[in-house]
Amino acid sequence: MTVQDVPGVPVAQLRDPHPVVTIVVPMLNEQGSIQACLDGFAKQTYGTSHLDVVVVDGGSTDGSREWVEEYSVEHPWVRIVENPKKKASAAFNAGLAAAEGDVLVLFSSHGEPMVDFVEQAVAVLLDSGAAGVGGRYLHIGTSPTSMAIGLAMVSPFGMASPHRTVTERVEVDTISHPAYVTDAMRDTGWFDEGLERNSDYEYNHRMRERGHRLIVDPAIGSIYHPRGSLRALGRQFWWYGRWKERVVRRHPGSLKVRHLVPPSAVVAAAVAPIACAWPAGRRVVGLGVVGYAALVALAVRRAEPRDHGADALTLAACFPIMHGAWGAGFVASVLEDSWKAARAT
């Protein structure tokens, strides 16, 4: 189904070969990363005369807001808007409301665009006729631990998201560091501010339900700096899994088979001690453990951690942390919602 097949939905296709591009950057206490992010846009091959960078500040107290204000004096294409709700979804909405461009990019303050990021995003929008495009992520850490986390996140075994492993242009269900045709966003509506995480995935699902196409193309590139500790990684993926369940509950059609694997593994691990009471159960559990360990070892070997300044054991630990935390967060959200529903009856 395409947008032309949806009654009453206007065709949202970019036609201007050099449109104004609004770049929305949510920020909350990002003194350590915001300069690299904004400097990346200052160096774009697209130029800055058609850039409109909107830093959406959630009430920073580390001096990052003041730094951006000073930066905007010499770079008038940068401006600040407020985000009193402090949520990412609210920041996206504030940026959409303030957008002046025909293209709107959502970009993390932890990220850095490749020098031709905007140029390539506009080119792919024009060439594909899609409503939204994304590209590949390069995860670059600043320590052996963060490098290991970055390698785990780009591994197909770690995360199956196409923006982390893409090698050719492909139509997808969601995009990261997305560049949207602004008219398509106005047709889709606002981000759901009831979601503290995964509001972008939910938004992309609604956009596709409207008939708009989303494309990932490896020509569009950006750098992302991953978490610096395994504890932070676990916390990050716990919340990812928890809020993914909320999105799936609201939009059952957004559920993919890959979403069921981590929570199924968590449930299996929970019942494994009971299963081990029987010889057959012990064999099944043993095969599962050995099989998973073999997959981890294979993923570590393919990632070549030594060549990237990462520790192999840390990389090996990342996979069960990511899978386990995501799955546990998903299961916890299912149980919590089920308990609330039972109490309400």
Q: Which pLDDT tens digit goes with each residue over 1-42?
A: 343 444 444 456 787 889 999 999 999 999 888 999 999 999
Question: Which stretch of 130-139, 250-259, 260-269, 323-332 has the lowest confidence by average pLDDT?
Answer: 250-259
Average pLDDT over every residue of 197-224:
92
Question: Which whole-number Å values give the CA distances from 16 to 21, 122, 167, 228, 290, in the listed order?
Answer: 11, 9, 27, 41, 55
Which pLDDT does position 36 carry in this prediction? 94
Q: Is the pLDDT of residue 81 over 80?
A: yes
Question: Which stretch of 72-81, 202-211, 250-259 has the lowest confidence by average pLDDT?
Answer: 250-259
Which pLDDT does position 272 carry in this prediction? 92
The confidence band for 345, taking pLDDT boundaries of 50, 70 and 90, is confident
Closest CA to 21 of 94, 106, 131: 106
Helix (H/G/I), strand (E/B), else coil: 105? strand
Closest CA to 19 of 219, 177, 128, 182: 182
The confidence band for 165, taking pLDDT boundaries of 50, 70 and 90, is low
Average pLDDT over every residue of 238-266:
86
Which pLDDT does position 160 carry in this prediction? 60
Average pLDDT over every residue of 48-65:
95
Which pLDDT does position 5 carry in this prediction? 41
Residue 294 CA to chain centroid, in angstroms? 28
* Measured distance CA(338)–CA(332) in Å, rounded: 10
Question: Which stretch of 82-96, 136-150, 163-177 has the lowest confidence by average pLDDT?
Answer: 163-177
Which pLDDT does position 2 carry in this prediction? 40
Q: Is the pLDDT of residue 91 over 90?
A: yes
Please, what are the domains in the chain?
Answer: 3-228 (3.90.550.10), 247-344 (no CATH)
Which helix (H) or strand (E) segment holds residue 106: the answer is: strand 103-106
Helix (H/G/I), strand (E/B), else coil: 246? helix
What is the percent of the chain with per-residue pLDDT over 70, rounded to a whole number?
95
Question: Which stretch of 146-155, 176-185, 237-246, 250-259 has the lowest confidence by average pLDDT?
Answer: 250-259
Which pLDDT does position 303 carry in this prediction? 87
Instruction: Kindly report the average pLDDT of the chain as a whole number.
Output: 89
Q: Is the pLDDT of residue 112 over 90?
A: yes
* Measured distance CA(154)–CA(164) in Å, rounded: 5
